Amino acid sequence: MDAVRTVKYEEELDAGFASEVAALPGGARLWDCIQCGTCSATCPVSLYMDRTPRQIIGLIRAGFRDEVLRSRSIWICTSCYACTVECPAQVPITDFMFALKRLALQDERYHRSLIPWVERTFVKMVHANGRLTESRMGMKIALRTGPRHWMSLAAMAWRLFRRGRLRPFHTERMRDPESLRAVLRALKAPPREGVA
C-alpha cells in the first residue's frame, strides 16, 4: 500500500482563498454557513460528487484551494439553484460554484473532463459568430468523444435532421459579430479570466 498523505498542514493551506471566493456580490454570506448539509441533501447530483456542496463550502473557508479547484464537484453542478433556494443561511452556493469554475480555469489546474472543454468551446464559438450553432457544437462534441459515443446518438440526430431541428450546414451567426466583439474588447476581455 502506498503512503498517501491526505492531511494538510496549516502552512500548505491558502489563507486568502476564502476571501478570494467571497469577493463576488453577496459572497460575504460564505461565512454564514452553519454546515447543516441542506444543500447537499437537496442537490440532485450531490451523490455523484467527490465533495458535496457543503464540504466544498467548508473546504473553501478552511483554505483547501487545491482540493476544491481540482474537485469533480464543481463541474458536475448543473446550476439548478436548488441549494441556493433551500439554504437557511442564504449562502449563494450556485454562484460560488461558478466562481470556482472560473478560478479553476484561471489556475489551469482542474479535473479534466468534457465539461470545461465544452464551456471554453462555447465561448470561442460565440466570439467568432456572436451566437452558438447547436448542431455544430453537437458535432464538435461528437468528434471529441469518439465514434462509440456519437454512434448511439446517430439515429436521433438523423431524425432531428429530418424534422428540421438539426441543420449541419447552417451557421447561426449575427449579421455583424464585430459589434459584439467591440463591446468585449472595450471590456478588455478575454483573455482576462477571473472571479469577479
- Interacting span for other proteins (CB under 8 A) from 6-14, 62-70, 74-82: 74-82
Residue 91's SS3 state is: coil
Residues 137-156, interacting with other proteins (CB under 8 A): 138, 141, 152-153, 155-156
At 26, phi and psi to the nearest 5?
A: 80, 0
Q: Binding residue for other proteins (CB under 8 A) from 119, 139, 146, 147?
A: 119
CB of 65 to other proteins, least distance (A): 18
Interaction between residue 54 and other proteins (CB under 8 A)? yes
- C-alpha span between 70 and 160 (Å, rounded): 37
66 binds other proteins (CB under 8 A): no
Considering the complex, state which of residue 14 and residue 138 has its C-beta at the smaller distance from other proteins: 138
Bond into 88 cis (ω within 30): no
| 28 binds other proteins, rule: CB under 8 A | no
How far is the CA of 163 from the CAs of 136, 156, 159, 166, in angstroms?
A: 17, 11, 6, 8
Among 13, 62, 126, 139, binds other proteins (CB under 8 A): 126
Sequence-separated (6 or more) residues with CB below 8 Å from residue 20: 103, 195
> According to the binding rule CB under 8 A, does residue 59 interact with other proteins?
no
C-alpha to C-alpha distance for 102 and 193, rounded to whole angstroms? 7
Rounded least distance, CB 92 to other proteins, Å: 8
Would you say 15 or 44 has its CB closer to other proteins?
44
Site for other proteins (CB under 8 A): which residue of 15, 31, 35, 154?
Answer: 35
Cell of 169: 450546414
Binders of other proteins in range 150-189 (CB under 8 A): 152-153, 155-156, 159-160, 163-167, 172, 174-177, 179-180, 182-184, 186-187, 189
Site for other proteins contains 90 (CB under 8 A): yes
Dist. CA 175–CA 191, nearest whole Å: 24
Contact between 62 and other proteins by CB under 8 A: the answer reads no
Helices (H), 71-162: 73-76, 82-86, 93-107, 114-129, 134-145, 147-162
